[in-house]
């Protein structure tokens, strides 16, 4: 299992990123290749490679990821018009970095899935 990702370096401030929120459990930063006017990644501060590696002991952490996304959506001014939260899992699910991350997308009509 991998022990280091680019996200690990961002969490530790060893790599530059536009961090919009950080606490003891999660770090949130702007995506470097945004798919929407607001595209922020919320990552756990511990390495969990994929959603397949999530256990019941991670429930509070996952909840924090979602409540952090809601707070940021309000702070970014996109909560009222709407936004999308997305987890990708593994290659066929579109996951590119083996460190789970929640995409917060908004600032434009996103359409149905």
Q: How confident is the model at residue 2 (pLDDT cuts 50, 70, 90)?
A: low
| Options 13, 39, 99, 101, the catalytic residue | 101
pLDDT in tens, 50-103: 999 999 999 999 999 999 999 999 999 999 999 999 999 999 999 999 999 999
pLDDT reported for residue 113: 84
DSSP the chain: -----HHHHHHTTSS---EEEE-SSEEEEE-SS-SSSEEEEEEESS---SGGG--GGGHHHHHHHHHHHHHHHHHHT-TTT-EEEEE--TGGGT--SSS--EEEEESS-----
Q: What is the mean pLDDT of residues 29-53?
A: 97
Q: What is the pTM of this model?
A: 0.95
Q: Domain-by-domain residue ranges, the chain?
A: 6-106
Indicate the class that CATH gives domain 6-106: alpha beta
99 is an active site residue: no
């Amino acid at each position: 299992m991998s022990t280091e990702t680019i996200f690990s370096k961002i969490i530790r401030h060893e790599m530059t990123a536009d961090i919009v929120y950080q606490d003891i459990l999660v770090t949130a930063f702007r995506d470097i290749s945004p798919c929407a006017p607001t595209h922020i990644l919320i990552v756990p501060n511990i390495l969990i490679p994929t959603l397949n590696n999530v256990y019941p002991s991670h429930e509070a952490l996952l909840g924090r990821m979602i409540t952090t996304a809601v707070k940021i959506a309000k702070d970014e001014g996109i909560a009222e018009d709407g936004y999308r939260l997305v987890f990708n899992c593994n290659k066929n699910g579109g996951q590119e970095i083996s460190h789970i991350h929640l995409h917060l997308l908004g600032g434009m009509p996103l359409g149905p899935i």
